[in-house]
Amino acid sequence: MVWLRWLLPPASLILLLVSPAAFGLCRQDLADAIAQEIQNPQWQRGQWGIVVRDLRSGEVLYNHQGEKLFLVASNVKLTTVAAALDHWGASHRFVTTLSARSPDRTTLRLQGSFDPSFSSQALQQMATSLAQQGIRQIQVLELGGVTPVTIAPTWAIEDLTMGNVAVVTRLSINQNALNLEVIPQQLGQPLALRQPETNFRVVNETRTVAPSEPEFLESEVRGQQIIVRGQLHRGSESAQMRIPLTEPIPYLQQQVQRAFAQAGIQVLQIRPVATAEPLPDLLVRHASPPLAKLILAILQESDNFYAEMLFTALETAQPGYRQRYLAQIGVQGAVLVDGSGLSRQNWLTPNGLVTLLQEMARPDHASLWRRSLPRGGRSGTLRQRLRGTPAQDRVWAKTGTLAGVAALAGYVEPLEDRPLVFSMVINQAGETTAHLRAGLDRMVVLLAQLRACDRASEGAGDRWVLGLHRHL
């Protein structure tokens, strides 16, 4: 770093060397540092809610409107996953079955159980197993649990059309959505669309553009026709589009017909039924990955469909279970209407989220919980955030974003202090998503630099004492 001497005057060099980034931030100075950020004129129209606690002792290091209800977007997923783990345990699997009405087996039923991961490949394996039992014709194949479908009335229509979530059915295939690969071509040419085999007609209204133009992709489903619009830069990488289906039953029927035909089984009639029970004679069963693996899509990648399927499964098994669980662990005043946080009728307090995070840091949950959360600058929805800062690799947190809303809740392991648990959220700031996230990240970096200046030696190496051990 000798070259800095030639670029900076002596006073500037001194300021650089004594900055918090170099020596850390004393605990007693944390409140002033955060207050300076949230009092920035940039946030004058917004509402901040921030709570920071010592994970070990529960000592409150900072509290700004911690008891106020906020929109916290995808931080709602923390409550969904925590309640599901409490109810079922990490080893729970969702089972899809093929069953028959004995003794003639002319009527079979494909029965779902809200497995969000069930795919065309899994269906093909089940059909092949059935063929190996000597079945070559099915007069009636019932699709159990595909009606009614669920569309939350408080979701924004753009969340459906832009692929943020699909409708929920007990039996779903490929997340009730079509997945397209979109590939840039020569300048001015339409993007190439690589799609799975379906009966949908795809109308390509896209183009390849110069880097100076904006990139976007969107879709619209009209019956059996899908219109794809948008543009990508020439020479850029291909993109994946998930196109949710507001009416998934025809797609389910197509996938089932194709899978059984490929297995050499003729299906004369496919009939959706609302029942949730298999027929008496169980022929084939397919188990999902364990819940411990399914929650990675929810927490790491913030997958809304997985979250809604898990929430609906939980509500079906035990109505009101999540709300009772939250009240039991001391989370008060939560108003929740979905599993993903897409609705603008979900309300949580920062104190409530911190209480939940403290509960999940207990030894029986801590290891799974920590590795399931995005890691700053490294994984999940934080892979591109906090890079090159003192918070990289020292923050494990769930993100949350809606228009005008940004939230972050999780854990920080400062280099020279004990672990912290925090919840930060801003509502109605009138700023872009990028600016909102930048504000959150600046405050998380402050936490990562924290030092217990008045007791520097106390617990300096005491990391994740409640079970969150260094093994990532």
Q: What is the pLDDT of residues 358-386, one digit of tens each?
A: 999 999 889 999 999 999 999 999 999 99
Structure tokens at 238: 């291909």
d(CA 464, CA 361): 9
d(CA 130, CA 52): 55
Q: Which region, left, alpha or beta, applies to residue 196 given φ > 0 means left and ψ of -120 to 50 means alpha?
A: beta
Does the structure show a pLDDT above 90 at 455?
A: no
pLDDT class of 265 with cuts at 50, 70, 90: very high
| CA 347 distance to own-chain centroid | 18
- The amino acid occupying position 335 is V
Helix ranges (DSSP H) in 318-389: 321-328, 350-360, 363-372
- Looking at residue 68, what is its pLDDT? 97
Q: What is the pLDDT of residues 272-310, one digit of tens each?
A: 998 888 999 999 999 999 999 999 999 999 999 999 999
d(CA 306, CA 300): 12
User: How high does pLDDT run on average in the chain?
Assistant: 87
Give the residue range(s) of CATH 3.40.710.10 domains in the chain.
Answer: 24-89+293-455
Give the residue range(s) of CATH 3.50.80.20 domains in the chain.
Answer: 95-149+248-288
Neighbour-count burial for 401-412, b at 16+ CB within 10 Å, e otherwise:
bbebbbbbbbbb
Using a 10 angstrom Cβ sphere, with 0-12 exposed, 13-18 middle and 19 or more buried, the burial of residue 17 is exposed
- Looking at residue 460, what is its pLDDT? 43
CB 338 within 8 A of CB 443: no
Pick the CATH number of 24-89+293-455 from 3.40.710.10, 3.40.47.10, 3.40.50.10490, 1.10.10.10: 3.40.710.10
- Looking at residue 197, what is its pLDDT? 73
Q: Which of 61-70, 221-230, 299-308, 351-360 has the lowest mean pLDDT?
A: 221-230
d(CA 92, CA 307): 16
- The amino acid occupying position 161 is T
CATH of region 95-149+248-288: 3.50.80.20
Q: How long a stretch of residues is the chain?
A: 472
- The amino acid occupying position 245 is L
CB 378 within 8 A of CB 391: no
CB 397 within 8 A of CB 409: yes
Q: Which of 348-352, 371-375, 401-405 has the lowest mean pLDDT?
A: 401-405
d(CA 138, CA 288): 25
- CA nearest to 85, candidates 289, 287, 290, 276: 290
CB 189 within 8 A of CB 179: no
User: CB-based contacts of 265: which residues, under 8 Å, 6+ apart?
Assistant: 127, 130, 131, 135, 136, 137, 138
Does the structure show a pLDDT above 80 at 443?
A: yes
Residue 367 CB neighbour total at 10 angstroms: 15
**Helix, coil or strand: residue 63:** strand
CB 110 within 8 A of CB 340: no
Peptide bond into 116 cis (omega under 30): no
Please give the C-alpha separations between residue 407 and each of 162, 288, 308, 392, in angstroms, as whole numbers: 21, 31, 19, 18
